[in-house]
């Protein structure tokens, strides 16, 4: 069995993918395919979520195992979870969350379930440009480069003086040789 899946973005209305994939393919294979087609950084976290008819997220399929302590968690991991285990007559929609900080995702809908099988994922059609993988919306006023600039400009003495907790005392201490035996006890 194979699926014809439509991928859409709420953020970029002109972007869309139509792909064909075998039901025995893993979610990791689908993840890798989406990363390649969208030219996203493969080192970023991502998850799939099965979606109920009412739009509620049901089951997360994560890129890696998140909890090793609680064996009762019904945790699914991409590399061992096949599409056929989660998608079928009842569940036809999946979200692919590629930006956790911005809560941004693609919606994947099964538009057709076909008989037969296939070895590789096929890109049937692609329209538009995918949204950027990481959104910096909400971080406009934050100058991340300023902190690094200032630390480079500090000279050694002013940096060390920031650790001087004896300011105002008349202690002249330059090295351990300046200590008397009485000062040690």
Backbone phi, psi, residue 178, to 5°: -75, -15
- Residue 8: is its pLDDT beyond 90? yes
pLDDT, tens digit, 9 for 90 and up, residues 48-101: 999 998 999 999 999 887 765 655 556 789 999 999 999 988 889 999 999 888
On whether the pTM is more than 0.75, the answer is no
Q: Distance between CA atoms of 35 and 32, rounded to whole angstroms?
A: 5
Separation CA 61–CA 82 (nearest Å) = 10
pLDDT at 64: 85
106-158 pLDDT, tens per residue? 999 999 999 998 889 999 999 999 988 876 665 555 555 555 545 545 566 66
Q: What domains does the chain contain, in order, with CATH numbers?
A: 2-127 (3.10.290.30)
Whether the per-residue pLDDT at 9 is higher than 60: the answer is yes
Structure confidence at residue 152 (pLDDT): 47
Contact 86, 95 (CB under 8 A): no
């Amino acid at each position: 069995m194979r699926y014809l899946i439509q991928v859409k973005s709420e953020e970029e209305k002109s972007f869309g993918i139509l792909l064909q994939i075998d039901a025995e393919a893993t979610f990791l294979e689908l993840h890798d395919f989406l990363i390649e087609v969208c030219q996203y950084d493969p080192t970023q976290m991502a998850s799939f979520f099965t979606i109920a008819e009412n739009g509620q997220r049901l089951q997360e399929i994560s890129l890696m195992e998140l909890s090793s302590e609680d064996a009762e968690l019904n945790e699914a991991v991409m590399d061992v979870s096949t599409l056929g285990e989660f998608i079928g007559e009842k569940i036809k929609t999946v979200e692919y969350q590629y930006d956790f900080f911005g809560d941004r995702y693609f919606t994947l809908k099964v538009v057709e379930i076909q008989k037969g099988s296939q070895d590789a994922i096929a890109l049937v059609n692609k329209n538009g440009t995918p949204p950027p993988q990481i959104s910096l919306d909400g971080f406009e006023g934050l100058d991340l480069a300023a902190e690094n600039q200032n630390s480079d400009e500090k000279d050694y003495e002013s940096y060390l003086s920031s650790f001087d907790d004896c300011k105002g005392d008349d202690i002249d201490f330059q090295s351990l040789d300046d200590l008397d035996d009485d000062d040690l006890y």
